[in-house]
Amino acid sequence: MVHPGRRSEVSTPHAEGRARSGTFGIAPSVFAAEAVKLSALRPVTLVLSRELALTALLLLGVSFVVFVILFLAPGDPFSVLLEGQMPSHEARAGVRDALGVPRTWYVQYVSWLGNLLRGNFGTSIRTGLPVFGEIVRVGLSTLYLTLGSMLVTLLIAVPIALHSSVRGATPLNRPFTLLAYLVSALPVFWLGYVAIYLFSHKFGVFPLVSAASASADRAWLYSLLPICVLGIGNGTVSEVVRYMREELSRVMAEDYIRTARAKGASVWRHAFKEGLLIPMTEIIASKIPFILGGAVIVEQVFNWPGMGRMAWQAAQDRDFPAIMGIVMIAATLVRLGSLLQRVVYVTVNPRASKQRRGEGWAE
């Protein structure tokens, strides 16, 4: 007999079956699968949170250093803007005070940083347009140029590195390796002018026009020459060949690769992550600043309407808001490349998320 105010403790066959099948009919294997997914995402989440915090501090430091350098540089953009209308220094100082423009650098920096946190990059002194809109307009062209040059670099360097690591130094890959080192030593501006003279002026293969004036059906033909010049002359080809050849040679000598080869399994399937994917992302992430620096020169040589050309013109006109905006976007792109490399590494090796910076990659 059961007390009226107390629940019965007698189990029914339906309750026992529900208990064996899991809570509310959900199988225990479902909970196990979800736990495995969460445990797989945890290392990536730790790396993302740590890298994002480091990115915020790095961008703050970059903005501070660049702002101080621009403030200490000769020439004031506000004075340059009023130089033709008010030649005297006293008149320009009076207009500055009337408009409420701060004179101290730290007040100007705090004001600029506050606007940046609200998504306002300022107004360009040269064009009078919002800086962010100008960067977005020209940034797509720079992104197209840099990504295309990275593809050209990988298409040249990866086959040479693969053949050298597998076959060793042979009469076939030795001249290609030497050629990769030679083209990496050439200045990119010299290579650009030589390419224009040979392929545009001498042979007439590529059109000698700007990207803005090129017709829609020939725009891809115009962009092909600067992309190839930047991909070959950015100094990255030889570094990719050397680094990937060393990493692939090291991985191919590992015990698990010899075991896979003895079992008749696919060697490249086992060596892809550690021998190809990780080295490729590491070397490309480390070379992004050099590629962006080379893009500034290539855009000037080929009259490419990109972010590098905009930075060049802003430096000549002392357009400090545009320079600060370009510096912040460029620093963000560099950090995104490093962040992508870290995410790829932790995805392949989740134990790397538990290691602290400065302690190396020792297991």
> Quick one: which of 182, 176, 188, 228 has its CA closest to 205?
228
User: 335 near 32, Cβ under 8 Å?
Assistant: no
Better-scored residue on pLDDT, 91 or 46? 46
Tokens 């808001």 belong to residue? 321
Fold of the domain spanning 132-350:
MetI-like fold (1.10.3720)
Model confidence at 320: pLDDT above 60: yes
SS3 227: helix
Mean pLDDT, rounded, for 181-195: 88
Q: Nearest CA to 301 among 183, 157, 197, 150? A: 197
Segments making up each domain of the chain, as ranges: 51-120, 132-350
Strand partners, 130: 123
Tell how far CA 82 is from the center of its chain.
38
* Residue pointed to by tokens 């009259």: 303
Cα–Cα distance for residue pair 159/176, rounded to 1 Å? 10
| Mean of all residue pLDDT scores within the chain | 77
Highest mean predicted confidence (pLDDT) among 241-245, 343-347, 355-359? 241-245
Interatomic CA distance for residues 203 and 132, integer angstroms: 40
The per-residue pLDDT for range 191-242, each reduced to its tens digit, is 989 988 888 778 777 766 555 555 555 666 678 889 999 999 888 888 888 8
> What values do phi and psi take at 135, rounded to 5?
-65, -40
φ and ψ at residue 70, rounded to 5 degrees: -65, -35
Q: How confident is the model at residue 354 (pLDDT cuts 50, 70, 90)?
A: low
Nearest one of 344, 331, 335 to 51, comparing CA atoms: 335
From the list 93, 99, 100, 94, the residue with the least C-alpha distance to 76 is: 93
| Closest CA relative to residue 152, chosen from 234, 210, 220 | 234
- Per residue in 55-87, pLDDT tens? 899 999 999 999 998 888 776 666 656 555 555
Task: Please write down the HEC assignment for all residues of 263-284.
Answer: HCCCHHHHHHHHHHHHHHHHHH
Asked if 311 contacts 266 with a C-beta cutoff of 8 angstroms, the reply is no
Per DSSP, 197 falls in state I
Task: Assess contact for 310 and 326: CB atoms under 8 A.
Answer: yes
d(CA 186, CA 107): 45
pTM: 0.73
Place of tokens 């004036």: 213
Three-state DSSP state, 123: strand
CB-based burial label for 280 (10 Å; 0-12, 13-18, 19+): buried
Residue 248, amino acid: L
